[in-house]
A = this chain, B = another copy of it.
């Protein structure tokens, strides 16, 4: 059986309006990326209501949970460079959500602590984020989410250590 050849081989535009992506769809990493993009975008919108960017929010959460930490350690935890954390801490301090306190036995470093306002905003924002997650993952069962969490942790541990 001979293969049929296209009758017209002159350059033409691909006729379909939407492209196929069979090759990429076969890649698990691609599926995760596309799904995560939605989560990320919706999270950004959610936090925008509190005038917070994702990174600023995570910084606030981490400072609240790790009261008294330094910018150096925080930058490490957030996986960003120290210089880039300065502006974030500046903003949080200007908005009086945290304070930079001087450390007695180490006058190089600051001790970062959330204020009462900061703590309250943190709670409100966190509630909004939980609602956002409930909505984003409404298509998953509780068992799904549990399994998904375990898989993500496994991937992380598989490549972090």
Contact = CB atoms under 8 A, between A and B. Distances in A.
A147 B147 contact: yes
B74 A19 contact: yes
For the residues of A in contact with B, the DSSP-based class is: helix
B61 A23 contact: yes
Nearest to A145: B28
B62 A19 contact: yes
A31 B152 contact: yes
A159 to B, nearest CB: 4
Given A12-B68, A23-B61, 20 more contacts: A11-B68, A11-B101, A13-B68, A13-B111, A16-B66, A19-B62, A19-B65, A23-B65, A24-B58, A27-B133, A29-B39, A29-B43, A31-B148, A32-B36, A34-B152, A35-B151, A35-B152, A140-B151, A140-B154, A140-B155
